[in-house]
Structure 1
Amino acid sequence: MISWHWSRGFKLFLLFAVIFGLIAVLVAYNYTAAFDERIIHLVQSAESPALTSAAKTLSLVGSSKIVIGLSLVIMAALFLFFKHRLELLLFLWVGVTSNMLNTVLKDSIHRERPNIHRIIEEPGFSFPSGHSMAAFSVYGALTFLLWRHLHSSAARVLLVAACFLMTAAIGWSRIYLGVHFPSDVIGGYAASCAWLMLSIAWFESLRAFLKKHKK
């Protein structure tokens, strides 16, 4: 019998997977061109040395190496303070596999990066944004794992707000720097959310199974 956690999580996975699929189709047929160009011009119209410096810093924070390093630190903290080994497994799984998924998707879709105004150069394909996927995976998993340990409503709101703003800021930085279309960023969020929902469903089902058989 499928557990409640798995059933709900799988439905959310399907929802966001369909959303990603729709975005991918729109991108493939170039239906997002006008939207992408308008948003890029809007974001880059505010270009300044201070914003460029901030965008480069955020982009660095969202890079795979930094995200992996951050994941290891968070995993160590979860183990030291909460002693939750299963949560370490979820964090490791999401961090590693979301990066692998991004590589597969990029190599499958083959979208070239924008050439409107690049402030920095970046190798590889454009869709979906790897930085956006990594940020959503890490901060989304962090929100899920820490939520149960925070009993104050204010602390929970602060956690969600901080993770949301960080994820959104990293996505903004990639558009500002001219290395991603807005649809790359949105597609990255959708793909990562789908994978995170599936991973959380698996995690919760595994935890429920182990708890049941431990009694």
Structure 2
Amino acid sequence: MRQRKIEHHLSRAFLLSLLFAVLFGLMAYLVHKSLVHSFDQHVISFVQGFETPQITALMKFLSWIGSGTIVLILAIISLLVFRKILMHRSEVILYVSVVLGSAILNQILKSLFHRSRPSLHRLANATGFSFPSGHSMEAVAFYGILAFILWRHTPTSWGRGLLIFFSTLMILGIGISRIYLGVHYPSDVLGGYLCSICWLALSIWHYQRSKDKEASALDEEKTKLGSPKSSI
């Protein structure tokens, strides 16, 4: 019965990653065929319609904190801190693979699509290709994996709720800031979210699968050691 529950849980996690892979593939197709122009323009007009000096300052801060250099610094600091307090070796491997893997995957995809950045009403400078958004992918990877690991060590429901709220707020804020500042299309941000959620879900699925296999093997070993030896 326990094994069936584990397999059902893992199947759901794998199907979730597969779903987001399909959604990203659909978004990539629409971008490649230039079928998202109307969607992008409407969302950009809506988001930039809230422009004020105060909001611009906030969006520049969110964009800065979601940049590759800052994410790397935050990742190293949190890794060192949590390694001493919370993380087991397997969690460290998961943490590093998700954050670094997302960054590598983003560079590969950018080189494949070669999409130019928007050029109208820029409020910040940015270089490189546009699809998918690197800030969005790294935000999902970094805050998503932190939320997952801390969730495992947070016993209270209110603590877990606060953790999910903060992570979601940062992920959405960083993505919206890239649209607001005019350096990414909304489809870039959405594509980044879909791709990174797929990678995050797949990584967590693989991690849980490995942990469940270890637990099952340990249970079998305990059962063997605890069973009475047959007399000769």
| Bucket of the pairwise TM-score, normalised by the shorter protein | over 0.9
- 1:53-72, aligned counterparts within 5 Å? 53-72=57-76
- Distance between the aligned counterparts of 1:179 and 1:82, measured in 2? 37
1:83, 1:13 → 2: CA distance? Answer: 24
Match of 2:183 in 1: 179
Are the structure 2 counterparts of residues 67 and 210 from structure 1 closer, same or farther at C-alpha, using a change threshold of 3 Å?
same
- Match for 2:104 among 100, 104, 107? 100
Report the AA paired with residue 40 of structure 2.
Answer: D
Name the CA distance, whole Å, in 2 between partners of 1:169 and 1:66.
15
Give the CA deviation at 1:208. Answer: 2.3
Summarize deviations over 1:6-56 as a string: whole Å, max 9, x none.
433321111000000001111111211111111111111221221111111
Alignment of 1:74-89 (within 5 A): 74-89=78-93
Question: Separation in 2 of the partners of 1:6 and 1:149?
Answer: 21
Task: Please say if residues 78 and 84 of structure 1, whose CA atoms lie closer than 8 Å, have aligned partners that are also in contact.
Answer: no
**TM-score of the two chains, using structure 1 as the length reference:** 0.94
Equivalenced residues, count? 215
Q: More displaced, 129-138 or 109-118?
A: 109-118
* Larger Rg over CA atoms: 2
Contact 1:112/1:126 (<8 A) preserved: yes
Percent identity (aligned): 45
Aligned residues of 1:114 and 1:180 also touching (Cα < 8 A): yes
Instruction: Report if aligned partners of 1:8, 1:201 keep a CA contact under 8 Å in 2.
Output: no
The residue that corresponds to 2:31 in the other structure is 27
- When the two chains are superposed, the root-mean-square deviation of aligned CA atoms in Å is 1.7
Q: Which stretch of structure 1 is more off in the superposition, 70-79 or 84-93?
A: 70-79
Contact 1:102 1:128 in 2 (8 A): yes
* Pairing partner for 2:115 from 101, 111, 114: 111
1:143 counterpart = 2:135: no
Which residue of 2 is the match for residue 48 of structure 1? 52
Of 183, 191, 195, 1:191 maps to 195
Counterpart Cα distance in 1 of 2:217 and 2:145? 26
Mapping of residues 201-212 of structure 1, within 5 Å: 201-212=205-216
Unaligned runs of 5+ in 1: none
Secondary structure of 2:69's counterpart equals: helix
Give the Cα separation in 2 of the matches to 1:72 and 1:55. 24
CA distance in 2, matches of 1:191, 1:81: 31
Of 22-31 and 204-213, the range deviating more from structure 2:
204-213
Partner of 1:125: 129
Cα distance in structure 2, aligned partners of 1:83 and 1:93: 14
Which stretch shifts more, 154-163 or 201-210? Answer: 201-210
Query: Match of 1:164, SS?
Result: helix
- Paired with 2:60 and 2:151, the residues of 1 have a C-alpha distance of 30
Asked if structure 2 preserves the Cα contact closer than 8 Å seen for 1:126 and 1:180, the reply is yes
Q: CA deviation at 1:92?
A: 0.4
